[in-house]
Amino acid sequence: MKMKKYSAETMVEAMKKVRADFGEDAIILSSTVVNSKGFLGFFKKKSVEVVAGFDEPAPKMEEPVLPFSSPPIVSVDKTSVELKKEMNEMKKMLENMQQSASHSRLPDELKPLLMHLEKQSLSSSLITQIGEEIYNRMKAEKKDFTHEEQLLMTKQFLEREIGNLPFGGISFNKKFINVLGPTGVGKTTTIAKIAARALLENKKKIGFITTDTYRIAAIEQLRTYANLLQAPVEVAYNSEDFEKAIANLADRDVIFIDTAGRNYKEVKFVEDLTRLIDFSLDMESFLVLSMTSKEQDMKIIIEQFNQFAVEKFIFTKMDETSSIGPLFNLMKDYQIGTAYYTDGQEVPEDITEAASEKLISLLLKGAYDA
């Protein structure tokens, strides 16, 4: 990593210097406010010192060929994650085998619906339950059901499974809206969409705190949205900065907290959040997940965040996937509802407040298309 120290009168000027040398992918390693000594104790002046770095791609090295290869040494955490992944894959394979055996005895009239649910990646358990419920009613009533009747029974089943979970956007009962999630899921854009709705539709005075100080581009992206919304932004590099930011935004109705996008499969990054953010505040926390991620990866992220009181999920990139079954699987497994789902980059248009009936309709859309 290349590193360099910068001095400037303000953080903004320091960031300009960093960006000029290292570009938008620069990493901020530390920042310090420095007081000059002045003359005879007077005319003291503050300045900012920033240490920034840039990761250069490491050259690939050929591994030596050894006569005997020793087993790789891995951390306990990584071993645990890999083992859990393998166990889940085996469990899924067994469920698929059981599902195939179960489906073979169901009438052909149900096959199109069940195949559609499989393509949507709904869990084997839920698909089997749906098929069995409709089949048992067919036997009890001694009749075949139309496609419309099958869809209605499927909707009723899913409504019973998830309808009791909380749905819908922010309640405005809490001052702080904390948005969590791994890198690449679109947290900052999602925050901007929610904040714009709060400002334009609910007439709330909004403000932003970003703790995503790892990359300059993340701060600048939030500043761009905040400028468009004419809302203040505070940057928190540590817990002391976070407390000052809260004080500076005391007059705001709602304060949106943009957390750093990191690889939260690693426990240490989750622990960093607890040291930086005061989770005892009057706060609603939302976990953002991308529908383009693997379901097993999303489960690992959810389990890493289980120490926080996650109110609801926010699912992004719905327009980039052809299967939304994992959304239902996760809600069912973790008993957590959904606040919003997004389907594009436009702010604030491409975001929808979630409701169980909307999501079920999306899941079943096209079930009987030729």
CA distances from 264 to 15, 38, 271, 301, 317 (A): 27, 45, 10, 6, 19
The arithmetic mean of pLDDT across residues 306-318, rounded, is: 91
pLDDT band for position 265 (cuts 50, 70, 90): low
Tokens found for residue 160: 């019973």
How many domains are there within the chain? 3
The arithmetic mean of pLDDT across residues 17-24, rounded, is: 78
The answer as to whether 121 is a domain residue is yes
Which of 11, 26, 356, 342 has its CA nearest to residue 159? 356
The answer as to whether 366 is a domain residue is no
CA distance 101 to 104: 5
Tokens found for residue 269: 């990054």
Q: Of 37 and 226, which is predicted with more confidence?
A: 226
Q: Of 212 and 343, which is predicted with more confidence?
A: 343
Residue 347, phi then psi, degrees to nearest 5: -110, 125
Residues 201 and 256 in one domain: yes
Residues 223 and 316 in one domain: yes
Residues 227 and 298 in one domain: yes
Residue 299 has pLDDT above 70, yes or no: yes
Residues 133 and 50 in one domain: no
The answer as to whether 17 is a domain residue is yes
CA distance 37 to 50: 19
Which of 48-57, 108-117, 163-172, 275-284 shows the lowest mean pLDDT across its residues?
48-57
Domain that residue 130 falls in: 91-162
pLDDT value at residue 37: 56
Cα-Cα-Cα-Cα torsion 110, 359, 302, 218, nearest 10 degrees, comes to 140
Q: Of 211 and 41, which is predicted with more confidence?
A: 211
Residues 46 and 96 in one domain: no
Residue 180 has pLDDT above 60, yes or no: yes
Residues 181 and 147 in one domain: no
The answer as to whether 225 is a domain residue is yes
Residue 39 has pLDDT above 60, yes or no: no
The arithmetic mean of pLDDT across residues 12-19, rounded, is: 78
Q: What is the mean pLDDT of the chain?
A: 82
Residues 37 and 129 in one domain: no
Residues 143 and 196 in one domain: no
Q: Of 99 and 249, which is predicted with more confidence?
A: 249
Residues 300 and 227 in one domain: yes
Determine if the pTM surpasses 0.75. Answer: no
The answer as to whether 361 is a domain residue is no
Residues 222 and 317 in one domain: yes
pLDDT value at residue 7: 85
Full strand arrangement of the beta sheet holding 206-210: 233-235, 206-210, 254-258, 176-180, 283-290, 310-316, 337-342, 351-353
Residues 194 and 305 in one domain: yes
CA 292 to chain centre: 11
Residues 217 and 344 in one domain: yes
